[in-house]
A and B are shown apart, each in its own frame.
Chain A
Amino acid sequence: MKKRNSAVVLIGGVIPHLILALSVVMLSLFILDRFNRAMNFIVNGITVWMIVVWFALTALLKIIAVYERVPKPMIFLGCLTTGLSFAVLIFIIAGRLGATAARYMIGALSVLDAAFAVTFIVWRRRKSGETVSSGKTDAAPRQ
């Protein structure tokens, strides 16, 4: 149980930073795409794979967030990004990632996912601080 919790703590510590970095990259690509559509910063094989990895990591973080019982506003934010992620995935599967709606969804998602990752990092820092000050050694989930 302790080992499992350590893995969750480690993954939960690293993933938000990866999501944050990917969100910043996707936001940059979205802005560049606004300026020069012909360069296809969003509609290309590399970006599609980056989006898939980004969504997978975000989904994993949401599972961890639920597991660690984050506050309800964060759960709401997670649900919003999940819904948008599914919508973008449908555009990808349909081969319509170039659609204006899909591009704007990616722009919105990059902001929302970045917000979700930052909120999660801050929440964990606070939570860790609380557990340290209360004499607990690690943040074990309530079950």
Chain B
Amino acid sequence: MDINRKLPVWALILIDILLVAAIILPFAYFHHVRDMWGPDDEQAKHSYTHGETPDVLTGDVFLTADASTEPSPTTGPSDDPTTRSAQEIRPVSLKGDREIRAYAKEHGLTLPAAVDGASYDMLYRSENIFTVLYSAAEKLNGYLAKYYVFDVYVKDVRNFYTVNSKQKGLRELVSEGEKEFGGPVVAAVNGDYSSNKNHCRVVVRNGKLYRTPEIIDSDVCVMYYDGRIETYTPEEFDFSKVEAQSPYQIWNFGPELLDKSGRAKTEFNDEAYDRHILKNTHPRTALGYYAPGHYCLIVVDGRQNGEDGEYLYGCSAISLAQLCERIGCVRAYNMDGGDSSQAYMNGEDVRIDRTRDPQRVLSDIICVGEIAPSLQRDEPEKTDAGGAE
């Protein structure tokens, strides 16, 4: 039977429409529903061993027993465990530019060199974490944007962790992180939308491999157990070499914002990223790296009015790259943006989309937070009581 002869034209058109629907609907299910919003069926396939993880950072930014009681501008963290256990070191949490500047002056702290016109919004200081949040509103390449920068120092990379889940609000993910790691989350921003298998080809979270890359077609960001962060183009990324160096986190969204010499990139990988999305202004999130143990999380507000009623546009990827270069990052990597750009610090929302309720759900967040003593690195036995180096 020749259907083209037997059936009228309208019936043939109807058949074609039904056929298109029969192909599109399963595609939509597998591509958009199951892979992005489906149940969390992924189990860790492998855990990376980290051997002797060094103190990624030592210095006077962390709170010591002395500093928690009286000003001590020059002393580093106490290395005597008996002193530390004997005295409870209570973290310092401050809010407001004036108070933060006064505290820094009193304790001889050098605050991160914020850009002109920036104000310090929040500070958190403990014996393991030092985080300052500063913000500024300015025109980035002609478009007004407000950006928030979390300047983060951690003594151990494990205080810089991720929470991976499926489609939950930022606050819910923060609560999950606090429950899992046994301590308060100090700061959190959205991650790389890891549940979307269509672009997030490789997932390593907190030293556990969740998704092995079959194909890498966009830039990759790797944080190693020794505190380094490296960004790779698809051509540069060699998973076996990365695995050999004990990756702690691998993000796959991008693009990388700075070149290998720390200069802002102006051209991005056209094959992996839509030129228009990168060039247009949107809210954005980025991870920046200065040195092992010293990072920054940047969230750019946009697509809504600011607190003073002026419209914030957000920024382009190029503007974000220039901002990262300006604040001194040597590596920087773009994370998921738009309504996904959300930030939190010390129990408060720093950046959310104020025009929507509820907020867009996220699949993963990057956290800076205290962790339970049982999860902390075993202290190496010291043979002599040497000071911090």
Least CB separation from B337: chain A residue: A38
Bound form: Cα–Cα A18–B1 in Å: 17
Partner of A39, one of B1, B198, B271, B276: B198
Q: Which of A1-50 contact B (CB under 8 A)?
A: 6, 9-10, 12-14, 16-18, 20-22, 24-25, 28, 34-41, 43-44, 46-47, 50
Q: Which of A111-143 contact B (CB under 8 A)?
A: 121, 124-125, 128-129, 132, 139
Of A58-66, A73-81, A82-90, A95-103, the one contacting chain B is A95-103
By the criterion CB–CB under 8 Å, are A124 and B31 in contact?
Answer: no
By the criterion CB–CB under 8 Å, are B20 and A21 in contact?
Answer: yes
A46: chain B residues at CB < 8 Å are 27, 30-31
By the criterion CB–CB under 8 Å, are A38 and B277 in contact?
Answer: yes
Partner of A13, one of B3, B270, B274, B276: B3
B15 within 8 A of A: yes
Bound form: Cα–Cα A20–B253 in Å: 34
A25: chain B residues at CB < 8 Å are 20, 23-24, 27
B30: chain A residues at CB < 8 Å are 46
Report the count of interface residues on A (CB-CB < 8 A): 39
B272: chain A residues at CB < 8 Å are 37-38, 98
By the criterion CB–CB under 8 Å, are B20 and A24 in contact?
Answer: yes
Least CB separation from A35: chain B residue: B274
Bound form: Cα–Cα A41–B198 in Å: 8
By the criterion CB–CB under 8 Å, are B4 and A124 in contact?
Answer: yes
Bound form: Cα–Cα A25–B24 in Å: 7
Bound form: Cα–Cα A41–B196 in Å: 12
Q: Is chain A's binding surface mostly helix, strand, loop or mixed?
A: helix
Partner of B2, one of A13, A35, A37: A13
Given A10-B1, A95-B215, A17:B274 Cβ within 8 A = no
A76 to chain B, nearest CB (A): 22
Least CB separation from A23: chain B residue: B20
Report the count of interface residues on B (CB-CB < 8 A): 30
Total residue contacts A-B, CB cutoff 8 A:
88
A30 to chain B, nearest CB (A): 13
Least CB separation from A122: chain B residue: B4
Least CB separation from B214: chain A residue: A45
A36 to chain B, nearest CB (A): 6
A113 to chain B, nearest CB (A): 13
By the criterion CB–CB under 8 Å, are A17 and B19 in contact?
Answer: yes
Least CB separation from B196: chain A residue: A39
For B2-29 the 0/1 string (1 means CB < 8 A from A) is 1111000000100110011011100100
By the criterion CB–CB under 8 Å, are A17 and B15 in contact?
Answer: yes
A34: chain B residues at CB < 8 Å are 274
Bound form: Cα–Cα A20–B4 in Å: 13
B259 within 8 A of A: no
For B216-232 the 0/1 string (1 means CB < 8 A from A) is 01100000000000000
Bound form: Cα–Cα A13–B27 in Å: 25
By the criterion CB–CB under 8 Å, are B3 and A37 in contact?
Answer: no
B225 to chain A, nearest CB (A): 29
Given A128-B4, A128-B5, A50:B23 Cβ within 8 A = yes
By the criterion CB–CB under 8 Å, are A37 and B5 in contact?
Answer: no
B199 within 8 A of A: yes
B7 to chain A, nearest CB (A): 9
By the criterion CB–CB under 8 Å, are B271 and A100 in contact?
Answer: yes
- In order of increasing CB-CB distance, the 3 nearest A-B pairs are A21-B19, A37-B274, A128-B5
Contacts from A to B (Cβ < 8 Å): 6, 9-10, 12-14, 16-18, 20-22, 24-25, 28, 34-41, 43-44, 46-47, 50, 95, 98-100, 121, 124-125, 128-129, 132, 139
